[in-house]
Structure 1
Amino acid sequence: MHKPSRIDLAESDPIDRRQACQRMLAGATALLGLSSLNGCVASAMGGTPELVWGRRGLSDGRFLKPRAMAIDPDDQLYIVDTTGRIQVFDVDGQHLRTWKTPETANGRPTGMIFDGDRGRLLVADTHYYRMLAFAPTGEILPDDQIGGTSGDGPGEFAFVTDIAVDGDGCLYIGEYGASDRIQRFDPDGKFMAQWGGTGREVQHFVRPQSLVIHDKTLWIADACNHRVQRYDLSTTEPQWIGSWGHEGKQPGEFYYPYGIEVDSDGTVLVCEYGNQRIQRLTPDGEPISSWGAPGHDPGQLYQPWGLVVDSKRRVHVLDSNNHRVQRFTLPG
């Protein structure tokens, strides 16, 4: 077992070009001049992580391009990588257990959430058109699965991206590909509603990669539109509130935002795969601070995919192509 350390550098790895957004990114990175971001580390938070752990490998405690991360009420971290392994760690990176998703030949999951009210890990089994559910110990819960059929009808999916759960236990599942949309299901998995569709105009999406619910608001990282959209869930039908952000590398701009979280104080944290940084913003999209830069040193990132916030308001960043996790503490 690999023991976490304060400085646990990862080996570099070739860019994964399987997804459409990543193919676009590979051709456009130079145009945005990402190298100019070196040294643009954060104002309010600083760029030095308090803990860095993980490295490239196939044994327990190591990763091969981790793609999604969830956190449970006990601050245990659940991480899935491109081998299809789901590994569980304590908040300091000590490995606890491992299991695998049932199928991986078509592709691996890219999103997950821990449903604290029902004690389930919900996994976006992206290339199998479904949401899987597991007990925290790894047993699959077949009766809780949603989807499994490719299509654009109710309850069918293209490529599933992520899941969010509201206070009533309703599930919101994002997908990209033939159907860039959000589907809503009741706590028993029965289809309720859908909205979105592929497009650049607001209330449409191009790869809604990450979903999070906070105070009856659904936040969506509309990754390939380089923006954030939000919906009010306090009414009978979800109501669009607005969107902010556009393609760029300046504060408040985005380049492939793959992860989104909302802190307990209401500020929004956005993880950018393309700009290789984390931004902290007000609920209305005004930038507060940012940190990160392309690279392999502590505080630098290499195509990060997501982040979670624990009970002590520490931000855990899934530094995917560095095959590791970095932890930062929010101020205040």
Structure 2
Amino acid sequence: MKTELRVALGGRLYGVERPWGALPSTPGRITDLAVDRDGLVHVLLRRDSAVDPDGPCVVTLAADGRFLRSWGEALCLDAHKIATMPVGGLAIVDRDAHRILFCDDEGRVQKQIGESHRPGQPFNHPSDIAFAPDGGFYVADGYGNGHIHRFDASGSLIASWGSLGTAPGAFLTPHGICVLSDGRVIVADRENSRVQSFSAEGACLAVWDAFLRPQDVIADAEDRIHVCDSIPTLSLLSPDGALLGRCRPVLNGAHGLWLGAAGDIFLAETNPNRITRLFPVAI
């Protein structure tokens, strides 16, 4: 008989469903996911383009986990993170091609930021992207630069900040990023095993260090911050960083996470290769 798992987070009880979703067999492995305004779950797959056979970059699932379609066979060299855009569509971080691709829901590229295969123009192995309330966005330029780049809604670069290091405001792989409703920017500084909070202009406001290699951060409608790390735990923080709850919903850790409209929490696991869904249950 299958045992139902339960975890608690921030005063709420969740059931744990793993694996979730009818994912087809592909050469790619799950690296991230994003839920759009229609409840569709877009699962990002990455593969080693030097040795792996061709396969889709994105698998789209219905809200109940049914397979709908897959696409993007020639889209990315090294798909790393994915995010929904405020105006609809998806932004995909193509890490080792040093670019961000902005696609419609069918996978057609509408825009690109960063020059393909040209590190430093401006990205050097970027890791994640997050959108601000004003339509602008921030890119965590995680593996080569140790920077955060701020862009306006048109895609023009406004400012960059950060450096490689361990001091407050510096990074050892800014790996995940999200933006709160007041414009504060939250960064999972993975190899420093901490999460940092910044103003919209890049001033370091706080450093929270009760994590082991945090992989991703995302905020809910109340600006509560969810952090998945490599302990593995899922932590819930207040907007000011106070710990509201902690649980262990996955086996070895999640590389990405996203929130569903019905209170679900989706976690993208790489080992084992699967999606885990947390769903609210009555206490």
TM-score under structure 2 length normalisation: 0.85
- Aligned amino acid, residue 276 of structure 1: P
Counterpart among 249, 255, 278 of residue 328 in structure 1: 278
Task: Report SS of the residue matched to 2:82.
Answer: strand
Match of 1:86 among 50, 58, 62: 58
Contiguous gaps of at least 5 residues in structure 1: 1-6, 9-38, 246-252, 293-298
Deviation string 1:116-147 (CA, Å, 9 cap, x unpaired) is 22x22100100000001111011122xx1000
Match for residue 230 of structure 1 among 197, 203, 208: 197
1:40 shift after superposition: 11
> CA contact under 8 A between 1:47 and 1:291: conserved in structure 2?
no
The 5-angstrom pairing of residues 193-204 of structure 1 reads: 193-204=159-170
Q: Does 1:241 align with 2:205?
A: yes
Match of 1:290 among 246, 253, 258: 246
- The residue correspondences of 1:244-283 to structure 2 (distance < 5 A) are 244-245=208-209, 253-272=210-229, 274-283=230-239
Q: Distance in 2 between matches of 1:203 and 1:265?
A: 25
Structure 1 counterpart of 2:108: 139
Q: Alpha-carbon deviation of 1:326?
A: 1.6
| Partner Cα separation in structure 2 for residue 64 and residue 93 of structure 1 | 18
CA distance in 1, matches of 2:188, 2:143: 15
Whether the 8 Å contact between 2:161 and 2:202 is mirrored in structure 1 is: no
Partner of 2:51: none
Q: How is 1:297-308 mapped onto 2 (pairs within 5 angstroms)?
A: 299-308=249-258
Residue 55 of structure 1: CA displacement? 7.7
Structure 1 CA distance, aligned partners of 2:44 and 2:258? 14
| Alignment CA distance shift 1:101-1:210 (3 Å) | farther
Counterpart amino acid of 1:305?
A: H
1:112 paired with 2:82, answer: yes
Unaligned runs of 5+ residues in structure 2 are 48-55
In structure 2, the residue corresponding to 1:189 is in which secondary structure? coil
Does the Cα contact within 8 Å between 1:57 and 1:64 map onto a contact in 2? no
Q: Deviations over 1:262-316 (max 9, x none)?
A: 12223211011x2122111222332222222xxxxxx432331111111122111
Q: Higher helix fraction: Structure 1 or Structure 2? A: 1
Q: Deviations over 1:170-223 (max 9, x none)?
A: 221111233110111222222211000111001111111111112122111111
C-alpha separation between the residues in 1 aligned to 2:15 and 2:251?
A: 12
Asked if the contact 1:66/1:81 (under 8 Å) is kept, the reply is yes
Q: How does the TM-score come out when normalised to structure 1?
A: 0.73
Which secondary structure does the structure 2 equivalent of 1:127 belong to?
Answer: helix
Is the strand fraction higher in 1 or 2? 2
Instruction: Report SS of the residue matched to 2:271.
Output: helix
Q: 2:174 aligns with which of 196, 208, 223?
A: 208
What is the total number of aligned residue pairs between the two structures?
Answer: 270
The partner residue of 1:150 within 118, 136, 156 is 118
5 Å-filtered alignment, 1:114-133, equals: 114-117=84-87, 119-133=88-102
Match of 1:249 in 2: none
